Structure 1
Amino acid sequence: MHPRSLPIPLYLRPYVKSALWLNRNAGEAFNFHILPRFHPAFIFSTEDTQDVANRYAGNELVFQPCNIYFGGGGVVPSLFTIPVKMDIILVLLHPQGTGAFWQEDAVHFFDRPAKISRDGQQLRILNEMIQEARTIDEKWQHILAFLTKKLLKKLPHNFSYVQRAISLIRQTSGIVSIETLARGSYTSQRNLLDSFRQYVGATPKQLASMARFNSLVKKYIINPDIKALYGKLERHGYHDASHLYKDFSRYVALTPQEFIGQENGINLVV
């Protein structure tokens, strides 16, 4: 796998976390369970991608060349197998980006991946422009122009509540109460819950739990010392080993040892 970062303009950074060109030549297949999807994503497959079917959020989704896919955030375990050549542009949004992009309640997109290449004239035209472009940089410029047009709109004031709450969730690695989130976002708990439904598709509690698990697992991938991990569970918001095992089972359908034994390059990149 050969990831290459693509530049994000400053004006898109409130919505877009990162963009990557991922290229992998055909070879020995590898399987991996992906972490809870904190960041919704666009996947733009180029003409150099080969067909591959995967279990994504409990559904079978066939990735094909010259198509656009969107997956909202999610918690349903997803198993990917990559046995063929893959050439994609992956755009990761901030959690609030789902509702901002689609202009409808993000709850409709949570854990619901789909091919969107022909969902409207704008997407059809974008897909054609991407496939006609000769280089990755040219393809990226078309995508940037499209995202700019879709995202740079005046949003209701409750968008800022969600931004502040997500910032707090990140700062605390998910170890934070809904009361603290509402207070730090300058709104009520009820209003914050409604705003999360609109822009994220998950509750603040769900997103905080995902952030807590992902934060701990990232450290675990980088330093796979299970004894050291168990010695610091409380620091990461876990009561004991059984609490941790419960989250591994819920989010990736693996034990900690099984998870660390898989190929985790994509999890580190994403």
Structure 2
Amino acid sequence: MTPDWLTIREGTAPLVIGLPHTGTDVPPAIEARLTSPWLARKDADWWVHRLYDFAVDMGATLVRTGISRSVIDVNRDPLGVSLYPGMTTTGLCPTETFDGEPLYRDGQAPGDAEIAERRATWFDPYHVALQAQVDRLRGQGPVVLYDAHSIRSVVPRLFDGELPQFNIGDNGGTTCAPELTQAVEAACAVSGQSVIVNGRFKGGWTTRHYGRPEAGVHAIQMELSDRGYMIDPAAPVTPDNWPSPYDPQYAEPMRGHLRRVLTACLDFAESRR
């Protein structure tokens, strides 16, 4: 039985979309230990599940967790190994926001036993579901796993200046065939907006763990600067200006660009079947 925090929408096309950071649910027992409920949801990939909801009509499969990344980040190495050694990042069970603000009251951060429990409760079931969908479709031929993300355009603690609009990651060309990366990059470039491959975001644990192009599983990450589909706040970011509401009209141009990107993913997979 699928837990209520996990959403799986099965399609028949050779495309699986992971939505690991769109959740905002925080169990009450954990929320009581936090410095601020707003901080616990601040770094969500806001509205990304709505941004990509058209993908269902394209036959894609979507796997989404409703649990906040501040509870457990299902796109981090479960053993706690840093994905970006030497660079600022957050862990499996983050204790601070992207901006360095503490998430927990003094002495309330989770210890090893609690982290293991959270992994068993949320991390493992999410990846069991994601693996099952990849395996289901892989049985019919090559499949693309597209991990969908977004982040504020300006986060000085994580990167300098303004992030490019489209940030494509294949971990240095290891998680998918180069033809897929090239097709996605070309689809993004049509927008006339900034695009980078393997810049600040090279692909998280999901992309690196599942990407086995030699076995027909091609994993790629898309990190969007959220200015492309929602209003980015002027600094400082506060509960009064973040998150900005989802505006379908404002987001529609980006949805058009992403339709082109997902079409490129499908064309790639289907050409290899």
| Same-fold status (TM-score > 0.5) | no
TM-score normalised by the chain length of structure 1: 0.26
Q: Which has the higher strand share?
A: 1
TM-score normalised by the chain length of structure 2: 0.26
Q: Which has the higher helix share?
A: 1
Bigger radius of gyration among the two: 1
